[in-house]
Amino acid sequence: MNLSRLLIFSLCIATAQAQSPINLIPQPVSVQPQPGVFTLTKATTIHYNQADGRVVADMLSQQLNTPTGFGLVAKSGKTGKIQLNLTETPNAQLGQEGYILDASPKGVVITANRPAGLFYGMQTLTQLLPKEIEGKIVTTKTWTVPAVKITDYPRFGWRGIMFDVSRHFFTKVEVKQYIDQLAKLKYNTFHWHLTDDNGWRIEIKSLPKLTSVGAWRVARAGHYGDRAEPKPGEPTPYGGFYTQDDIREVIAYAQARNVTIVPEIDVPGHSMAALAAYPELSCTKAIVSVNPGTAFSDWYGNGTFKMKVENTLNPSDEKVYEFLDKVFTEVAALFPSPFIHVGGDECYKGYWANDPGCQALMKQLNIRHVEDLQGYFMNRVEKILTAKGKKLLGWDEILEGGISPGATLMSWRGIKYGIEAAHAGHNVVMTPTTFAYLDYNQGDPTIDPPIYASLRTRTSYSFEPVPDGVDAKYILGGQGNLWTEQIPTLRYAEYMTYPRAWALSEVYWSPKEVKNWPNFVQRMETHFDRADVAEINYSRAVYDAIIKTSMKDGKLRLELEGEIPGLDIYYTIDDTMPDQFSTHYSQPVDLPDGNVNLRVITYRAGKPIGHLITLTRDALQKRVGR
Residue 450 is predicted with a pLDDT of: 84
The CATH number of the domain holding residue 307 is 3.20.20.80
Residue 405 is predicted with a pLDDT of: 86
Closest CA to 447 of 569, 619, 590: 619
The dihedral of CA 448, 450, 451, 452: what is its sign? positive
Same domain, 258 and 306: yes
The CATH number of the domain holding residue 136 is 3.30.379.10
Using CB atoms within 10 Å of the CB of residue 437, give its burial: 0 to 12 exposed, 13 to 18 middle, 19+ buried.
buried
Q: How many domains does the chain have?
A: 3
- List, in sequence order, every residue forming a beta bridge with 150; answer none if it has no partner: 31, 101
In eight-state DSSP terms, residue 73 is -
Q: Residue type at 524?
A: M
Closest CA to 610 of 438, 454, 444: 444
563 is catalytic: no
Closest CA to 220 of 199, 201, 245, 203: 199
Residue 303, pLDDT above cutoff 70: yes
**105 located within any domain:** yes
- Region 512-540: mean pLDDT is 97
Residue 5 is predicted with a pLDDT of: 38
Same domain, 83 and 124: yes
Asked if 376 and 365 count as a contact pair (C-beta separation under 8 A), the reply is: yes
- Band the pLDDT of 6: cuts 50, 70, 90: very low
Give per-residue pLDDT as tens, 135-194: 999 999 999 999 999 999 999 999 999 999 999 999 999 999 999 999 999 999 999 999
Same domain, 163 and 50: no
Same domain, 396 and 248: yes
Same domain, 254 and 322: yes
Residue 18 is predicted with a pLDDT of: 41
The more confident residue out of 301 and 496 is 496
Name the packing angle between helices 172-184 and 490-497 (round to 10°).
Answer: 20
Give per-residue pLDDT as tens, 450-476: 898 999 999 999 999 999 999 999 999
- Region 495-510: mean pLDDT is 98
Q: What is the CA radius of gyration of the chain?
A: 27
Given 330, 346, 494, 563, which residue is catalytic?
346
- Band the pLDDT of 13: cuts 50, 70, 90: very low
Residue 467 is predicted with a pLDDT of: 97
Q: What 3-state class would DSSP assign to 84?
A: strand
The more confident residue out of 298 and 122 is 122
For residues 356 and 358, give the distance between their C-alpha atoms in angstroms, rounded to a whole number. Answer: 5
Choose one of 129, 152, 175: the last residue of a domain.
Answer: 152
Residue 310 is predicted with a pLDDT of: 96
Residue 580 is predicted with a pLDDT of: 97
Give per-residue pLDDT as tens, 57-102: 999 999 999 999 999 999 999 999 999 999 999 999 999 999 999 9
Q: Residue 11: which residues within 8 A CB-CB, separation 6 or more?
A: none
- Band the pLDDT of 15: cuts 50, 70, 90: very low
Same domain, 505 and 567: no
**95 located within any domain:** yes
- Band the pLDDT of 20: cuts 50, 70, 90: low
- Region 608-624: mean pLDDT is 96
Give per-residue pLDDT as tens, 227-261: 999 999 999 999 999 999 999 999 999 999 999 99
Residue 14, pLDDT above cutoff 60: no
Residue 10, pLDDT above cutoff 90: no
Choose one of 534, 559, 582: the last residue of a domain.
Answer: 534
Using CB atoms within 10 Å of the CB of residue 297, give its burial: 0 to 12 exposed, 13 to 18 middle, 19+ buried.
middle
Q: Residue 232: which residues within 8 A CB-CB, separation 6 or more?
A: none
Residue 401 is predicted with a pLDDT of: 76
In eight-state DSSP terms, residue 74 is E
- Region 597-621: mean pLDDT is 97
Asked if 349 and 312 count as a contact pair (C-beta separation under 8 A), the reply is: yes
For residues 207 and 212, give the distance between their C-alpha atoms in angstroms, rounded to a whole number. Answer: 9
Choose one of 152, 170, 200: the last residue of a domain.
Answer: 152
Same domain, 331 and 292: yes
- Band the pLDDT of 21: cuts 50, 70, 90: confident
Same domain, 429 and 361: yes
Residue 402 is predicted with a pLDDT of: 79
- Other Cβ atoms closer than 10 A to 447: 17
Residue 618, pLDDT above cutoff 70: yes
**458 located within any domain:** yes
Asked if 313 and 276 count as a contact pair (C-beta separation under 8 A), the reply is: no
Beta strand 107-112 pairing with 158-164? unpaired
Same domain, 389 and 276: yes
Residue 17, pLDDT above cutoff 50: no
**175 located within any domain:** yes
Same domain, 457 and 569: no
**539 located within any domain:** no
Same domain, 394 and 483: yes
Give per-residue pLDDT as tens, 314-347: 999 999 999 999 999 999 999 999 999 999 999 9
Residue 126, pLDDT above cutoff 80: yes
The dihedral of CA 57, 63, 66, 69: what is its sign? negative
Residue 514, pLDDT above cutoff 70: yes
Same domain, 81 and 203: no
**100 located within any domain:** yes
Q: Is 263 left (phi over 0), alpha (psi -120 to 50) or beta?
A: beta
Name the packing angle between helices 172-184 and 244-256 (round to 10°).
Answer: 20
The CATH number of the domain holding residue 609 is 2.60.40
Asked if 28 and 151 count as a contact pair (C-beta separation under 8 A), the reply is: yes
Asked if 161 and 182 count as a contact pair (C-beta separation under 8 A), the reply is: yes
Residue 12 is predicted with a pLDDT of: 38
- Band the pLDDT of 284: cuts 50, 70, 90: very high
**DSSP states along 89-108:** S--TTTTTT-EEEEEETTEE
**467 located within any domain:** yes
Q: Is the pTM of this model over 0.85?
A: yes
Domain coverage including residue 565: 544-622
Closest CA to 533 of 137, 41, 142: 137
**341 located within any domain:** yes
